[in-house]
Structures are given as C-alpha cells and as structure tokens.
Structure 1
Amino acid sequence: MIDKRRLVSSAFAPKIHGPVTYCELGMSDSTQRFLFDDTDIRGEMVSLTDTYSHVLAKHPYPQPVAQLLGELLAAASLLIGTLKFDGLLILQARSSGAVPLLMVECSSAGELRGIARYDEAQITADAGLRELMPEGMLAMTIDPAKGQRYQGIVGLEGDNLAECFSSYFATSEQLPTRFWLSADGQRARGLLLQQLPADRIKDAEGREASWQHISTLANTLKTEELLGLDNETVLHRLYHEEPLRVFEPRALQFRCSCSRERSANALVSLGQEDAVQLLDEHEGNVVIDCQFCNQRYSFDAADVAQLFAGGGSQSPSSTRH
C-alpha cells in the first residue's frame, strides 16, 4: 500500500520503509527530488512533454537529432537542481559531424529553451551520439545573475549523453554523479543520482558500497520503463526495499529569453557606423531572428537612430517627427 501523504521539499518527512511516498504529478513538465534515508545519496527525476514539444516545433528535426536534444533538455533540468544559484545554466555540445551543435539553456526558475544544428544529408535513422557528433566536446557554463561565470569542458567520449555527463562529474573532482537519459520525440525523461558529503556513513568503504548498490539498481532501468512509467512506479520498481523520501515536484516550462531590447543591444554593440551600414545593405531594415524560437525583431533607420541617441529599443511613435 502506497502512502499518499504529500511531502514538501523545504522540510524532511518521517522515514518511510517499503514502497515510496509519492505525491501525484499535477504537471507534465517537472523535476522531482528524492533522498535515501540510510545513505548519503540523493536523486532527481525529470519529465518533459510540453517543453520538449515547444522546442521541437520550432525546427523540423530528424528523429535522431530530436532524441539528442531531448536528452540534453532533460540533463539541463536535472543539473539545475544540483546548483544553488540564481542565473542560467548553458549546455553546449559541439562536434565535427552531422550535428555540429546542440545547445540548451535552463534558468534557475526552471525555464528552458534549446536548439540543434544539423546536416540532414549525413543523418541515418539509427544514428547514435558517436556517429552524429564525432570529435565532440561538451561545455557546461554557469552564468550567475551575480558573480563570476564558470565553464567546464569534457570530451563527448561516451556512447550516449548520459555517459558523457557521468564522465564529466567523474573527471571534475565533484561529488560522484550518474545520469540516465531518454527521449523519443514526444517525451524526454531523466534520472540523476548523486553522492552527498559524508554524514550517515563516514567510512570510505561503506560509502562506496552504498553508492555501488544504489547505482547498480538504477542500471536495471530500461529505456521503455523510463519513458513510459511515472516517477512513483519507476522508484518503486527500483527501490521498494530502500527507505526513501520523495519531495514535491518542481515545475518546468519552455520560455525563450530573447527580446527586442536584447536584439537592440546586439545592434548597439556593433557600433553606429556598422549598424548604419547594415541598414544600407538590407534596404533600410535590419531583421534579427531568434534561433531558439523564430521570433523576428525588425529595426529601421528611425529605430537605429533612436538607439544611438539613447532613446531605447521601443519603436518610435508613428506621430513622431
């Protein structure tokens, strides 16, 4: 019998043995944190449907590219929960192959956007990460609202993105962290496990044994289970014998951070001479497209003159002379 008490992430609930305590998901896009009471290990699951659909609707991605982009969206959603900061997490995977770029941004508020560049002529239906992104590199950038930007880079040397992210944490001397990621063009899902600083288990041998035990159980999770089952069922199948606490889900959503103001700032950064030259080259109208959401921002001669006069990015009134 499953206890349906609601747990909140701001406070721990009593220890629960056997089947997990779980609150029903009321949203299609969310992350959900869980904690193993007897070990120093935390976990998180993510489910993306609407956000994933919004991202894929912006460009006609082939299925293998849509799958990689979904996995990267899931990874970003899981990672943002491990970082205690106000700002933006940016994941970029670059390669010399058919997919030269995958890019996802996730804000600390749970707002996501993503894009991929690809050469469809080089893509086969069953292509995986190694075929699509040879000689690839993965960069993780943390861009806080206040403070210094940080970036870490690792090679795309795994068979899939989950292995690459797990390797990133293994080589960065951070807390041991494992990922399981899946996407099928309709739903993107992920599971994260992370070892916490020593508290309940002090000795290194005991910590390693508990980490291997929890990770080995997660390795039994099949792709169809991760994609097709809800969090409650997945966690019960994996950890029904472990004392586990599960917390309230945290909502995620698609939102593009582009704006007319940011596009105007890009024009200003060129300098007035170059901006005017662009106007001449484009018959008096410069259009800036957002690659993430396809929004278009148009600037004519009056707009550009206003920008460099310090008048802001809003279009001049039609009655203004």
Structure 2
Amino acid sequence: MTQTQDTLKKFIFENAAVRGELVDISNTWREIQGHHSAYPHAVRRLLGELVAASALLSANLKFNGSLVMQLHGDGPVRLLVVECDSELRVRATAKLAPDADIADDASLASLVNQHGKGRFVITLDPHEKMPGQQPYQGIVPLDGGDIATVIENYMLRSEQMETHLWLAANDSVARGLLLQKLPRHSGSGAGPKQATEAEDLETWNRAVMLGNTLKQEELLDTDIDTLMKRLFWEETLRVFDPLQPRFNCSCNRDKVGNMLKMLGQDEVEAALSDLGKLAINCDFCGKHYEFDKVDCAQLFAAPEPVQAQLHTSSNVKH
C-alpha cells in the first residue's frame, strides 16, 4: 500500500524510556530526484537512505532550525548532503567526481571512503540566532559500512544516545525506522507506573531485537502502519499525531547574492570581466539565477552579508 502523502509517526513505549519513529518519505524522495539528472543506482540508494534518516532525526529537534547531514568523500562520490528543518522540509543533493564510474552494487566505503579520508558532518543551524551564535557542527570520521551504522555511531559518540536505524531506499521508495533509548527522566514517567532501570533495559533490548527482524525488502514493500503493527503488536505503544515531511528548497536571490559577496569583490569582478554575467544554479532544486555587472555592483554597495549555507553550481571561478 502506498501512502497518499509522506508520513512520519512518532511513538513511545508506555512506562519505558524508549521511543521510536517510522517514516515514509517516498514522495519527497521522488521529487528530490526530479530536480537532478539521474544519479547512479548506488548513489540514489545512499542519498535516499540519508533523506529518510534526516526526517527521523529532525523530528526531535528542540529548536526552530535545520539539521544538515553531509558525507564528504574521497572516492567517486565527493559529497552527499541532506538538509531537513524542524518542520520536516527536506532538500538533498550529491556531487560526484568527474567521470565517476559507479557500479550498481557499490558499497558506501568504496563510494565515499575509498582512501579512509571520508568524513561525516552534522550541523545544527538555528534559524533565529542570538548575537554571535554560530551553528553547532560535529565532524567525525566515517565509521560504519552503511548510512544507518554511520549515524548510530555518531549519535553514540557525540550525543551519548543509543540509537538504532533501519533504512531502505530505491528509485521510488524511501523509508526508515528509528529507535532510541532515552535518559530515564525523559521517558520513564510516561505512564502511570514508572519503570525500573532494569525494565527500561529489557524493553530497549526487546525493541531492538524486533527491529532487527526487519529486512530491507520488507521496509521497501510495506507501508509504515503495517510495519508498526507487524513489529510491535505485542507492545503497548503511545502513538502521536502523524507529521508530513515534504520537499522544500530555501534558496533565493538574496542568499545567492550573499554567497557572491563571500567570494569577494575582486574575484566576482574578475569573473564578470571574463563572462559578462554570472549564471548560478542551485544544486538542490536547479533554480537559475543571473547577476550582471549592475547587480554585482549593488551587492558590494550593500552591508556585509550574514553567512548563509547554500550549495550552488556556477560559472564563477573559485
């Protein structure tokens, strides 16, 4: 059964400090692919899994802002990046090495960590920053053979949170399951009876064991309501109102202008001298922006920009 719209469902295990989420983000994933020329199959699989994971993690953001996950590679795939905000608005892109030849069954290690120099980066970027506040950024070596394991290891190392993820994606479907063991004060008092630490651990181990029965083919072929019932039919769950992830690109002309200002006036004027005008395409949605000499002169007459995160492709010489 196919969801009529993308859906994320959060749930907690009653009387235990364990929470979970299931997401079907397939419509958003297909729209993301529609903004790009076709990626190789192995890249689509990895990026689709990262899209599902971004929604699962962003659903628990405690601030109005964005979570950005990036895999920086030293192989055929140079960059995978997904941004998802606290309202579950998602965008994603990938950058490949020139003339990359990628097999359909290529592994994460061979694509992104070929020489052991791959990095996984998570950035938490509040939309409304306090004066002087910078985004939080965690950078770790790629540790794991798949997207789920990389994120699990990051969460344990950087956030001290036991997290398990099950992710699956193909050309048309992207789904995922997240389970997290919470600090006892965050979940143990959810019901009328407070669980003991031993009971919390027992529930956590049982939930992970049930999650481990989930195969990728089952995750791809089964809607999330059926998956929840199939996996946890013997558990007492409290299920919250569903959330709806969706594609959204936050690029605009002002952000592109700020990016040009950060390049510096000398570099921009040199590019204008060669090209006459600057043509810039957003890597996330493909929207096209042009700046001529008058536009650029107005940019540098304006106040200095606030740094904005924006991935673009252009014929500006870097």
Is structure 2 residue 25 aligned with structure 1 residue 48?
yes
Shift of 1:173: 4.6
Query: Does the 8 Å contact 2:64/2:126 carry over to 1?
Result: yes
Q: 1:100 to 1:211 in 2, by over 3 A?
A: same
> Partners in 2 of 1:310 and 1:94 — Cα distance?
33
CA contact (8 A) 2:3 2:24 kept: no
Structure 2 length-normalised TM: 0.84
1:168 equivalent to 2:150? Answer: no
CA contact (8 A) 1:25 1:249 kept: no
What is the rounded CA distance, in whole Å, between the counterparts of 1:174 and 1:29 in structure 2? 30
Of the three residues 206, 221, 225, the one matched with 1:232 is 225
What amino acid is the match of 1:184?
N
Give the letter aligned to residue 40 of structure 1.
Answer: A
In structure 1, which of residues 168, 172, 197 is the aligned counterpart of residue 183 of structure 2? Answer: 197
Deviations 1:6-40 (A, max 9, x none): xxxxxxxxxxxxxxxxxx99742221111111321
Say how many residue pairs are matched.
288
Of 168, 172, 192 in structure 2, the residue corresponding to residue 182 of structure 1 is 168
Q: Quote the sequence identity (%).
A: 41
Computing the radius of gyration over CA atoms, which structure comes out larger, 1 or 2?
Answer: 1
Q: Which moved more, 1:99-108 or 1:206-215?
A: 206-215
TM-score by length of 1: 0.83
Instruction: After TM superposition, give the deviation of residue 271 of structure 1 in Å.
Output: 3.7
Pairing 1:92–2:73 present: no
- Contact 1:162–1:181 at 8 Å: present in 2 too? yes
> After superposition, where does 1:107-256 map in structure 2 within 5 Å?
107-119=85-97, 121-134=100-113, 135=116, 136-145=118-127, 146-147=129-130, 148=133, 149-198=135-184, 199-200=188-189, 203-256=196-249
Alignment counterpart, residue 292 of structure 2, candidates 300, 318, 321: 300
Shift, 1:189, TM fit: 0.5
> Do the aligned partners of 1:91 and 1:138 also contact (CA within 8 Å) in 2?
yes
Please name the residue that 1:81 is paired with: 59
Distance (whole Å) between structure 1 residues aligned to residue 301 and residue 94 of structure 2: 37
Change (3 A) 1:246 1:64: same
- 2:21 is equivalent to residue 35 of structure 1: no
Distance in 1, matches of 2:3 and 2:219, equals 18
Give the superposition deviation at 1:202.
5.4
| Deviation by residue 1:240-265 (Cα, 9 ceiling, x = unmatched) | 11111212211111111111111112
Which stretch shifts more, 77-86 or 111-120? 111-120
Code of the aligned partner of 2:125: D
Distance in 2, matches of 1:91 and 1:259, equals 21
